[in-house]
Structure 1
């Protein structure tokens, strides 16, 4: 891809996402503006940069830094043991980030989708309410988790995901998203966990 700033590799990451994303008004409900990131995912060079960006969050939370290994740089440790992706677009991103980092991936699913014993969290979002679930054996106590989703809006989904991860005894080292809708205050809802957004608008 090329643009006014040059090739994909030369365009700042936030400008790259902004230039490819499409705003869809009144979806999935009137008054909601949906940020469609599928054009970003469809652009190979852009998608590679997105994945690399999501895999390298800044660990601003002191508690996250405390659980990182002392020899991270020498060992090639990415700073997390597993990537947790939130249904559904978060699955695309989390799987790619996990592959890039050489770790496993765990899904957070909508209620009723997981077949075995699970934990559940309810949450509110800007156009309704819902529940999400994880298998009880999907994470281990003390495991370091990078939580990945496409958009941070009101923070309801991600706050519930953090609660599930912590209920299973794992540690959220950071939350990585492609887009943060700052006016909706989602970052505050999942504080004090570090949030790494590639494009804040």
Structure 2
């Protein structure tokens, strides 16, 4: 087994820990310590860290270690902008009858995200909130668009988890009301209403980022 294959295990495990906030921004990772933790040589560990750097989660510092990157709120806002464009594109296709929607799957993810909030399971809430949107995007059958969606999904998830862990007693952003409104409009094929809901949500998020001074 080559070093690249061996790197998969530490890469996936470290990626998960970073996304779930078990490894927080600003932490410095050591090849030596990780080598001991995963019981393997430094070469696959180094490759795993290179993969994480390519994903945008860490920065490898020469002779110092690997720094877990801070959340980029500018990048998050750009993700919001992109998501709004993708969702509106999907609605246009639905309105033209060019695609069909798996409304039962969308309802499943909505129910699970609503229940997760009741159970105070924030990670589960984030997962199904993302899957709610992903199901809509998936139905466009545009693989490049879906890959783009997936490429930023984990960064959005990470931002939510870190905010929740740093401020567990705060009221955090919830898409439950938004997704409930979207589901109701989708199930009754009120496409102009869906566009209005998306536009209003986009405006609110933009204003929130501006107030926070993040864009």
* TM-score relative to the length of structure 2: 0.22
Of Structure 1 and Structure 2, which has the larger fraction of its residues in strand?
1
- The structure richer in helix per residue is 2
TM-score normalised per structure 1: 0.23
Greater radius of gyration (CA): 2
